[in-house]
A and B are shown apart, each in its own frame.
Chain A
């Protein structure tokens, strides 16, 4: 069935360093890839998204890259700050409405 694998499950970086989270999807018809940040006990919040007709998208310190051939996409956070600490989820959508989520990456930024 449809599946999204996400790695790593936990990631610790020093403040100021970069963090990279990778996801692989199984359904080649997927065409929409959002990333959500979820702080403890709070709602998932969209931080960036990319559609399949684009290879890369950037928003300040956050960027997402998509490789449709390999069916993987990645989240890049540069100059990490303690407030970036959270769980990050990738998702893949087909016609967007039915998101398949990855299992999450717990990012810890060490001051």
Chain B
């Protein structure tokens, strides 16, 4: 099946800093989603982005499907951005999740 790797696995930021999270996948995919899992365990949809670039407030994402990667940008980070960020790709009739990036934003 498809392999999904996320980097970095852990990230600590000072409030106000910017960051880039990366998602690499091993095969062509039909679509890609980014999620934020907050400290209470809730999965929040951030982007549905099989290709191209999207922006939503301080967050933006870019997927380059031909090169098999996606990037999630967080600007001016806030403590409420803390949690785990997952990339999930759809291929081979299954949504496959990466291992996540654990982000901690310190005040």
Are these two chains actual partners, yes or no?
no
Tell me the B residues contacting A by CB distance below 8 Å.
none
Tell me the A residues contacting B by CB distance below 8 Å.
none
